[in-house]
């Protein structure tokens, strides 16, 4: 078999779900980021943070895949350092902490081929 290099444009993923659901999800995350997260504190061990990841996932893939990606992110925090890069990050107080780099692209690279 002759190997072929597949083209993977991300906009090929069909977005059939209602736009209202996507707007509702993005609004909820924005509300969380502005009003709840500052009180709750910065405790996410990953970069981007889970709420930012969720926002980017909904924006990029719509409601259905965005929901799956966001819940997946909330579940896979524990073991991610084994398969992704770990980076150092200086927070607003000057403390350096280690964060696992796990953007949306790290979780949807196989999605286009499946669809």
Q: Which of 44, 46, 69, 104 binds another protein (CB under 8 A)?
A: 69
Distance, C-alpha 58 to centroid of its chain: 9
- Mark 19-58 with x for binding to another protein (rule: CB under 8 A) and - for no binding: ----------------------------------------
Would you count residue 78 as binding another protein (CB under 8 A)? yes
8 Å CB contact between 22 and 63: yes
Rounded CA-CA distance 86/102 in Å is 9
**Ramachandran region of residue 94, left (φ > 0), alpha (ψ -120 to 50) or beta?**
left
Nearer to another protein, 95 or 113 (CB): 113
Contacts with another protein by CB under 8 A lie at 1, 3-6, 67-72, 74-79, 82-84, 106-107, 109-110, 113
């Amino acid at each position: 078999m002759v190997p072929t290099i597949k083209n993977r444009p991300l906009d090929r993923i069909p977005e059939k779900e209602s736009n209202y659901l996507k707007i509702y999800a993005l609004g909820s995350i924005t509300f969380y980021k502005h009003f709840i997260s500052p009180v709750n504190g910065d405790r996410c061990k990953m970069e981007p943070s889970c709420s930012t990841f969720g926002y980017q996932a909904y924006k990029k893939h719509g409601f259905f895949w965005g929901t799956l990606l966001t819940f997946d992110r909330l579940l896979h925090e524990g073991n991610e350092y084994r398969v992704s890069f770990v980076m150092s990050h200086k927070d607003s107080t000057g403390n350096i902490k280690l964060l696992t780099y796990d953007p949306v692209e790290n979780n949807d690279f196989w999605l286009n081929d499946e669809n």
